Amino acid sequence: MRYLSLYLVFVALFSWSSVECQENNCVEPFEAYDTITANGNFLKYHIRNKKAVLEYGNHVFRKFLPEEFDCDIADAWVPKLKYDNKNFMLLHYGCGSSCWGVIFVPLQNEAKIRRIMYDFAYDSETTNLVYTDNEYLLVENLTSGKIKVVKLPQCDAANMVYCLDSISINKSELKYQFYEPNRFEDKPIMKKYSIKIE
């Protein structure tokens, strides 16, 4: 009986220590998104003072994202790999209902980290990223920085993302669908568009 009591005390202490350790180390939901890519790039979450920080890089370059993430962050808000090549990585994150974006993470010291809201499509061959600023569709070449602005029809919804659908880009062709007039009293009409990107 004495040994059983000691055993139960030991189990209780160990369980408490494990829970406290996991809480303090803030393991979840971050370690699931540690990544090594086929291009040799990596993402690695570290825990500091009950906050998560993200290290990224490759075999010749290492850097930390200049922000911290709370331990109780929603899983959808945790930045995770979406695309990468030898020059940059794109990390997807959520920020609420109908809110999302990517973090552009360059793999050179001189380039700047950027947050780009409402990304819809990406062409890995040309590095063209399609996103909206809630007024236009923007097609940005992430290698050259060149941006093509596509004027959109009027959208009466609270956010342009509710009017857009089925966006894709393949080399020099952008395709998307747009619902208009998108007013409560009118039945939305879907129109298809195809645009050449120079």
pLDDT in tens, 70-99: 988 888 999 999 999 999 999 999 998 889
Mean pLDDT value of segment 168-188: 82
Both tokens of 190, joined, read: 């879907």
Give the pLDDT confidence of 133-158 residue by residue, as tens digits.
Answer: 999 999 999 999 999 999 998 888 88
Q: Where are the domains of the chain?
A: 121-198
Q: Flag whether pLDDT at 106 surpasses 50.
A: yes
How would you write 143-168 as a 3-class SS string? CCCCEEEEECCCCCCCCHHHCEEEEE
Report pTM.
0.81
Q: What pLDDT does 24 receive?
A: 46
Question: How far apart are alpha carbons 158 and 109 in whole angstroms?
Answer: 38
Question: How far apart are alpha carbons 25 and 61 in whole angstroms?
Answer: 26
Q: Flag whether pLDDT at 183 surpasses 90.
A: no
Predicted confidence band at 180 (pLDDT cuts at 50, 70, 90)?
confident
Better pLDDT: 157 or 107: 107
Could you tell me which of 117, 167, 174, 168 has the C-alpha nearest to residue 149?
174
| Coil/strand/helix, residue 2 | helix
Q: What pLDDT does 25 receive?
A: 54
Better pLDDT: 5 or 40: 40
Q: What percent of the chain has a predicted confidence (pLDDT) above 70? A: 83
All residues at 6 or more sequence positions from 56 whose CB lies less than 8 Å from its CB, including other chains: 41, 42, 43, 44, 62, 63, 64, 65, 89, 105, 107
Predicted confidence band at 68 (pLDDT cuts at 50, 70, 90)?
very high
Mean pLDDT value of segment 18-25: 41
User: φ and ψ at 173, to 5 degrees?
Assistant: -120, 125
